[in-house]
Amino acid sequence: MKNIRKIFAFLWLATCLLFASCNDDNDNSTSYLRVSDVTATSGNYVLSASEQGFNVIPDVGNRELAVVTYDLRSNREWKVVFESGNTDDWLMAYPMEGSGDGKLRFCVKDNDAIDERTALAVLYYQDGGASDVQFVVKQEANLPYLNVSINGKTGATRSSSGRDGSIVQINVASNGDYLYTKSPGSSWFTLTEDRKGEITATVDPLPEDFDEELRDGTITFKGIGSHAHLETVLRIVQSVVGFDGASLITIEELLEQYEGKFVEENLYIRGVVVSDIDNKNIPPDQMVVQDRSGKGLLIVFDDALGNTFKVGTEVSVWVYDKEIRKASISDVGADNNIYDPTENVGCDGVIKTISTLLGAGEHLNCLVRITNAEWVFPYGTYYPGDERTLYTSAAAVPWTDKARIVRSTGGGALRAYVLGGENEAGGATFKHARLLPKGNGSLTGIIMNRHDDFERTTDITVFRMRSGDDDEIPAEGTRGYQDIVEFVWPPFSNVGVVPVVPLSGAGTLRSTMTDSWHFPNVAGEIYIGYCYWRFNDPSTPIEGAGANTYWAMNTAAMDGSQSARSIFAPNYPFSSGGINGEGWVATFSAENVTADEEIVVGFSTSSSSTGPRDFVLDWGEALYTNDAIDWPRTFAGTFTSVAQYECTNWDAQLYPPEFMFALPADCNGKANICVRLRVNGTRRANLALTSTVFAGGGTNRICALVISKRPK
């Protein structure tokens, strides 16, 4: 019996092993390797991506950045093989080989050439068998460029020397061939090419018997071949003049004669420093000087350490050989260009008093006192965010710089920007000094230029307070604008949702979206979001929500395409190239608005990185206004466009910007007005200039909306 039991046990074990072996063979007899879930890097660098490959822009910047990542599934060992394209120089995969499941990442180097390049990456099994997975990779061609800098300053076109001569370092960057030549008669400076793209210009001292005011010459850089249309001319100037022989000119006369040109007369201006370096609301290398002509001049120092001039100090500024651009001069040396400082003169003698912000650009780089100013949203502090560095894009300025809208009851509005700094101790000292006052009164600051939020190529006119003392608006008091309806979300528990009701006035604010995840019902409830408004004590963030928080009404995904998800889609023929108008709708009554008054709409908004960037504000006349279940879906007439605006992206660490637009007089006196903030395109709301269509959509949030009226 024992032997029989042993035989049965042996047969049972053998059978188990046989079946186990067969099962293992079955699991592995069919090799598989597949990819899914392609992830592009925020859409910044990738023009398109799929399981078949991807297309990237020429300039990525970081060769170690994974521009595209794939999830990989396999039951074998595998490897990546580049079968076409000279990929050693520009395309990399990580890892190049592996086993089983994992992630496959691709990195690219910049394409400096004016031709596009492609490559084919194929996944093989380690035993040499080819899988069905391959990627066609394409990188766009670069544009021809020929960039020349002088002493490290890109865009400079002129170098000036004194009697003793100088050494000028010239750097040339180009993705093509070029030649350079000196102008005739320029033997007084020599050019030495140290290496490709690096040229030293040596300017000889002036002869003792030199009896002219200056001598100058040029260096012309000219592209050849595919770059033949590119040309840059540098001017080399040497002069004997100095401040001692300069003539006084007013800032107004200087701007009239030399705006957009170099000052080729020996001139200086004398004015009062109206900027405040102690309170740090403009970069440390900048100073604003204003004189009694009513004009101001922005001074940009070549070294921030040279700017030691306190507000209220009267100085002389030698402007000979400086280029006047947008009421400013740059490359100013504290020792070479600033003379005879007299402290504690004060700014009262030069400050301008204004009663309207219409035409504010006429006061560029001037200190003004607005007599009838008020904050559109008197909630939070001057700086709607925390002190930490928030920008993450390499194209963004290094200083955090955020705005609140200030308006004048005499008309017009500006964004009042406040520097946050590069660290917690940096930036304006008053940025969280107190909560914004609610009344109407005097507000002092400098009207300046600033690059816009996205392209950074267009200047916009902005307003900069210098300190908390510049705000004399009463904390409580009469406002020149009267609110018709206002939606601002006060602090509340971040558990659950809160019904949408106006803080003041009567009206509704709803989304055209009906997705239950983000937006609980079409009647409207607040879904908590985050950005950079503060409602509590200025020294602390909102309780339980972290430092970067605001309360927001949040939509579902907006995809910028025709969608039955839009409440209006079945009932209203939307225009603008098929965009269905997904967005926000506010309704209110304008019956009490007379012909002598103006209606303005103000709001603060932000999108996710895949959310919409382009919006349009338009209005129509609603037939239904107060039905909480079947709220307005049809209108008495068509919508009329009022203005377009661009929304920022909170994932790119930009605060939600504030906007204010005036409605046309046709709205006045009507009982049922509908204002719509409508998606107007398919660009993402990130910082990349190559933003792609936001496939699948993204959210947009409103943290405040106010509709007001004012006397014209």
Give the tens place of pLDDT for each residue, 304-350. Answer: 999 999 999 999 999 999 999 999 999 899 998 999 999 999 999 99
Q: How much is the pLDDT for 22?
A: 34
554 with 494: CB under 8 angstroms?
A: no
The torsion region of residue 3 among left (phi > 0), alpha (psi -120 to 50) and beta comes to alpha
Q: How much is the pLDDT for 553?
A: 75
CATH topology of domain 352-470: OB fold (Dihydrolipoamide Acetyltransferase, E2P) (2.40.50)
What CATH number does the domain located at 243-342 have? 2.40.50.140
Nearest-angstrom CA–CA distance, 78 and 653: 39
Residue 291's nearest CA partner among 324, 323, 248 is: 248
CA distances to 55, 144, 155, 177, 235 from 224, in Å: 29, 11, 21, 6, 21
Q: In a 3-state reduction of DSSP, which class is residue 363? A: helix
**Where, residue-wise, is CATH 2.60.120 in the chain?**
482-711
Superfamily for 146-239? Immunoglobulins (2.60.40.10)
Q: Which residues, 6+ apart, have CB-to-CB distance to 350 below 8 Å?
A: 271, 272, 274, 290, 291, 292, 294, 367
Q: Tokens 């500024």 belong to which residue?
A: 317
High-pLDDT (> 90) share of the chain, %: 49
675 with 707: CB under 8 angstroms?
A: yes
Q: How much is the pLDDT for 549?
A: 52
Nearest-angstrom CA–CA distance, 621 and 637: 6
pLDDT band, very low/low/confident/very high, at 478 (cuts 50, 70, 90): very high
What CATH number does the domain located at 482-711 have? 2.60.120
Give the tens place of pLDDT for each residue, 415-427. Answer: 999 987 765 567 8
- Judging by DSSP bridges, how do beta strands 459-464 and 413-421 pair with one another? parallel
**The tokens of 473 are what?**
């608006």
The stretches of 300-345 forming alpha helices (DSSP H) are: 334-337
Q: How much is the pLDDT for 577?
A: 34
Q: How much is the pLDDT for 491?
A: 53
Nearest-angstrom CA–CA distance, 330 and 303: 11
- According to DSSP, residue 23 is labeled H
178 with 223: CB under 8 angstroms?
A: yes
Give the tens place of pLDDT for each residue, 102-120. Answer: 999 999 999 999 999 999 9
Give the tens place of pLDDT for each residue, 557-571. Answer: 665 544 434 434 333
**Where, residue-wise, is CATH 2.40.50.140 in the chain?**
243-342
- According to DSSP, residue 541 is labeled P
648 with 607: CB under 8 angstroms?
A: yes
543: pLDDT strictly greater than 50: no
494: pLDDT strictly greater than 60: no
Taking the alpha carbons at both ends of the chain, their separation in whole angstroms is: 112
The stretches of 129-204 forming alpha helices (DSSP H) are: none
687: pLDDT strictly greater than 70: no
Mean pLDDT, range 273-288, rounded to an integer: 94
Nearest-angstrom CA–CA distance, 434 and 264: 48
629: pLDDT strictly greater than 50: no
Q: Which residues, 6+ apart, have CB-to-CB distance to 343 below 8 Å?
A: 310, 312, 313
Q: Which residues, 6+ apart, have CB-to-CB distance to 665 below 8 Å?
A: 595, 598
Q: How much is the pLDDT for 396?
A: 42
Q: How much is the pLDDT for 705?
A: 92
**The tokens of 689 are what?**
């200039």
585: pLDDT strictly greater than 90: no
Give the tens place of pLDDT for each residue, 515-532. Answer: 433 344 344 444 444 444
For domain 33-139, give its CATH number from 3.30.70.20, 2.60.40.10, 2.40.50.100, 3.30.365.10.
2.60.40.10
3-state secondary structure string across 382-425: CCCCCCCCCCCCCCCCCCEEEEEEEEECCCCEEEEEEEEECCCC
| Sign of the alpha-carbon dihedral angle for 241, 341, 350, 459 | positive
**Where, residue-wise, is CATH 2.60.40.10 in the chain?**
33-139, 146-239
Nearest-angstrom CA–CA distance, 41 and 57: 12
Nearest-angstrom CA–CA distance, 673 and 642: 14
Q: How much is the pLDDT for 130?
A: 83
High-pLDDT (> 70) share of the chain, %: 75
Residue 437's nearest CA partner among 413, 411, 415, 470 is: 470
Q: Which range (79-93, 474-488, 557-571, 657-671) has the least confidence?
A: 557-571
Residue count of the chain, please give it. 712
Nearest-angstrom CA–CA distance, 297 and 307: 15
Rg of the Cα atoms in the chain: 32
Mean pLDDT, range 373-387, rounded to an integer: 81
Mean pLDDT, range 176-182, rounded to an integer: 95
Mean pLDDT, range 157-172, rounded to an integer: 91
Q: What predicted TM-score, i.e. pTM, was given to this entire model?
A: 0.76
196: pLDDT strictly greater than 70: yes
